Amino acid sequence: MFNRISGFFFFLLFSTSLVAQNNAVTKITAVKITKAIHIDGHLNETAWLNALPIDNFTQRELHNGQPATEKTRVAILYDTQNLYMGVWCYDSQPDKIRAQGMKRDFSSSSDDNFEIVLDTYHDARNGYLFITNPNGARYDALIQNNGDRVNNSWNGVWNVKTSITRDGWFAEFVIPFSTLKFNTAQEQVWGINFERNIRRIREQDLWQAWSRDADLEQVSRAGTLLGLQGLNAVHLLEFKPYGIAGIETEPQTKTQTNLNAGGDLNYLITPSMKLNLTVNTDFAQVESDRQQVNLTRFSLYYPEKRDFFLEGRNYFDFGLGHSTQPFYSRRIGLTEEGEAIPIIAGARILGKTGGATLGAMSLQTADKDSIPSVNSTVLRWKQDIFKQSTIGVIGVGRLEPNRQNMVYGTDFRYASSSVFGDKNLSVGGALAQSYTSDREQKTGLASRIFFDFPNDFIDFSAVWDRSDANFNPETGYQRRTNYQMYNADLRIKPRPKSIPWIQKLVFKPFDFNYYIDDSTHQMQSLWSEFRPFGFTTKSGDFFESNIQRRAENLTEDFNIHDDIIIPKGQYWFTRYELQYGTYRGKPYRYFIFFNWGDYYNGQRTEWSVRNVFQINKYLNASINYTQNYVHLPEGNFIINEVSGRLDMALNPDLFGSVFGQWNNDDKEMLFNFRMNWIPTPGTNFFFVINQGFDAGNGSWKATNTTILTKLVWRFVI
């Protein structure tokens, strides 16, 4: 009986691997040219006629393994400075092409688009992602760990132009070699892959790696780019000065003028190594953080939005996971309340030599009020081993007068995309120690072990995390301290052919996070979820129903809201959840969330709705509303949160947004107006207005007002 069951399980894992995932033509050759291409999206230069295109695309969705319904061609040219890509997206129904976004980093999942990945080191681990749509909008990102992590905040220097005709839509990309990092070999061999999405029929076509256990970001499954030669002389000396001018006013205070200037000097030492020097670093944040009402006992996480830290963020990722990070860049140049601390100067070096990836950064902040001048330094090294795996170390230091805090550790990740044929598997762990000079117990430990099997039919992961009571990463982030966490998550996602309107069913037998106190080994909390039924339709809508079992062990009274206090003790409760969302490719779409049931010693009902209106390619509006109604023996309260955004774009180089948010807990309305003009790739002009209103006492009263202009200009020397 056991052999039959295990054999059947193995068959389920292996059966979808029987279909080939690579087309016969797996290589594309770039042709060298002597005259630069004029980028206009029309592909009418003679050089394109002499290129060597590929056109063998295969469906991943909806009809896996079938030929693409519309023809797509790609050709590549290059000169001494730039890589050029020509894309022919033929379409038999050009009047039904969907293209709504135009701003930088547009929502690519709702438009027809074309996507490119480049594995420039050909290391089957890291790469670059470039996306455009028929409007010529730009989206880019850095790929890490073979698609396991994607840094979508990176903005590279590149350009694309498009055109739409009765035959379809067409694109011309130009990517300067100085935007990329690659090895110094005379003859380059890169990994490369392409994806085209036709939203009206939800068709997803790929050149290579069209197995449903693969995706475009998995650079280990990419094809090969040949023909690039003589690029080892590529160098870049780039100067990016900035200037800021603005005013800030608060009630009953004097208006303050904000004038500042500084700059970054970037030197591409070799095509694989880049040095950044910064003076009077620009940490002006032109986009507001989204407010979060915290109904938990643990700290909130806010993403980094400052340009200096975004480019190299993936170099400093470490294997302790999201909840415990030895390095969290928002600890540098910002107080706990989010106020800026001046940066005097800093240096950073990023790159890869052979199989070794290096990231190093050091910044010195000025003293401000009671906060002393601090040096923050982080060093990260990773070494490639085997085909897709890595081992690495990290060191993070916070040095201030008469006090030091440090974290140092090592991590390991084994990964493969060829288990059971073409399945994905990764396993690894990390260990880190902190040192704080003025603590009685100076050192503390944190560790993690994980197993991940992320595939289309069976998706399983398991994690063990630990952070002892003395682990203290002051330049890092900890959601909670003094814990051990056990997690396991299993999802089964069959694709039944007997239900014609269903693309995929989703069942979740279990998903849990169990926390215990590392010192006492008593339970801290439990979150578990069982999904008896969920699905995605062939039209793109999705639904899920969940049953959640939770527990909280309060070792002290918990002040949840105002003067409402939940007594210490152990609480177990059951909650229920429904979610439904419409296809993201529709001009109007919505998402509904409803969660209800027990909550500590009372009841809590939470519901939210998100509406998105893509009016046309120039205007896009969204509104979000969330309500929490909490009923406890100690008292009742209601939290209402509202936010809305209007995105506007005249063209891909001139766009802006108005973002507003309010909740009845803070009783404050915040507005952020942001305009971005990109006169040339790499140069940005921002005009920003932040306005706050005190919404208490039934009236709106203006509080703080900030008006800011910011210019970052790029000079290539």
Q: What is the DSSP string of 516-558?
A: EETTT--EEEEEEEEEEEEEEETTS-EEEEEEEEEEEEESS-E
Per-residue confidence (pLDDT) for residue 640, from 0 to 100: 93
Per-residue confidence (pLDDT) for residue 16, from 0 to 100: 42
Tens of pLDDT along 125-136? 999 999 999 999
Q: Are β-strands 223-226 and 27-29 bridged in parallel, bridged antiparallel, or unpaired? A: parallel
DSSP 177: G
In which band, very low, low, confident or very high, does the pLDDT at 298 lie, cut at 50, 70 and 90? low
Per-residue confidence (pLDDT) for residue 153, from 0 to 100: 83
What would the 3-class secondary structure string for 65-113 be? CCECCCCEEEEEEECCCEEEEEEEEECCCHHHCCCCCCCCCCCHHHCCE
- The residue written with tokens 């069209």 in the block is 210
Tens of pLDDT along 180-217? 999 988 999 999 999 999 999 999 999 999 999 999 99
Task: Look at residue 271 and tell me whether its pLDDT is greater than 60.
Answer: yes
Average pLDDT over residues 504-533: 96
DSSP 121: T
List the one residue out of 227, 234, 226 whose CA is nearest residue 271: 234
Supply 179's token pair. Answer: 């935007």
Average pLDDT over residues 339-356: 89
Q: Which residues touch 680 (CB under 8 Å, ≥6 apart)?
A: 714
Task: Report which of residues 698 and 643 the model is more confident about.
Answer: 643
Average pLDDT over residues 671-685: 93
Per-residue confidence (pLDDT) for residue 2, from 0 to 100: 39
In which band, very low, low, confident or very high, does the pLDDT at 576 lie, cut at 50, 70 and 90? very high
Segment among 273-282, 459-468, 545-554 with least mean pLDDT:
273-282
Average pLDDT over residues 247-257: 83
What would the 3-class secondary structure string for 146-172 be? HHCEEECCCCCCCEEEEEEECCEEEEE
Average pLDDT over residues 159-164: 97
First to last CA, the chain: 72
Tens of pLDDT along 66-80? 999 999 999 999 999
Task: Look at residue 676 and tell me whether its pLDDT is greater than 50.
Answer: yes
CB atoms within 10 A of CB 295: 15
Per-residue confidence (pLDDT) for residue 286, from 0 to 100: 53
**Helix (H, G, I), strand (E, B), or coil: what is residue 294?**
coil
**Is the distance from CB of 432 to CB of 378 less than 8 angstroms?**
no
Per-residue confidence (pLDDT) for residue 370, from 0 to 100: 85
CB atoms within 10 A of CB 353: 12
Per-residue confidence (pLDDT) for residue 622, from 0 to 100: 96
Which helix (DSSP H) or strand (DSSP E) does residue 640 occupy? strand 635-651
**Helix (H, G, I), strand (E, B), or coil: what is residue 259?**
strand
| Separation of alpha carbons 357 and 698, rounded Å | 57
Task: Look at residue 553 and tell me whether its pLDDT is greater than 50.
Answer: yes
**Is the distance from CB of 173 to CB of 132 less than 8 angstroms?**
yes
Average pLDDT over residues 508-520: 96
**Is the distance from CB of 352 to CB of 142 less than 8 angstroms?**
no
| Separation of alpha carbons 119 and 191, rounded Å | 4
**Domains and their CATH numbers in the chain:** 2-226 (2.60.40.1190)
Average pLDDT over residues 476-502: 94
Segment among 2-16, 17-31, 550-564, 672-686 with least mean pLDDT:
2-16
Cα angle value 291/293/296 (rounded, 5°): 140
Average pLDDT over residues 336-346: 81
Task: Look at residue 289 and tell me whether its pLDDT is greater than 70.
Answer: no
Task: Look at residue 354 and tell me whether its pLDDT is greater than 90.
Answer: no
| Separation of alpha carbons 16 and 412, rounded Å | 29
Mean of the per-residue pLDDT values for the chain? 90
Average pLDDT over residues 574-600: 96
Tens of pLDDT along 415-425? 999 999 889 99
Per-residue confidence (pLDDT) for residue 302, from 0 to 100: 62
Task: Look at residue 8 and tell me whether its pLDDT is greater than 70.
Answer: no
Per-residue confidence (pLDDT) for residue 389, from 0 to 100: 96
Tens of pLDDT along 613-622? 999 999 999 9
Residue spans of beta strands (DSSP E) within 218-280: 223-226, 236-249, 256-270, 273-279
| Separation of alpha carbons 636 and 28, rounded Å | 65
Average pLDDT over residues 253-280: 88
Average pLDDT over residues 325-330: 90
List the one residue out of 539, 606, 551 whose CA is nearest residue 579: 606
Per-residue confidence (pLDDT) for residue 342, from 0 to 100: 84
| Separation of alpha carbons 200 and 296, rounded Å | 41
Per-residue confidence (pLDDT) for residue 130, from 0 to 100: 98
Per-residue confidence (pLDDT) for residue 296, from 0 to 100: 61
Per-residue confidence (pLDDT) for residue 461, from 0 to 100: 98
Q: Torsion over CA of 670, 672, 673 and 676, rounded to 10 degrees?
A: 180
Average pLDDT over residues 79-83: 94
**Is the distance from CB of 205 to CB of 58 less than 8 angstroms?**
yes
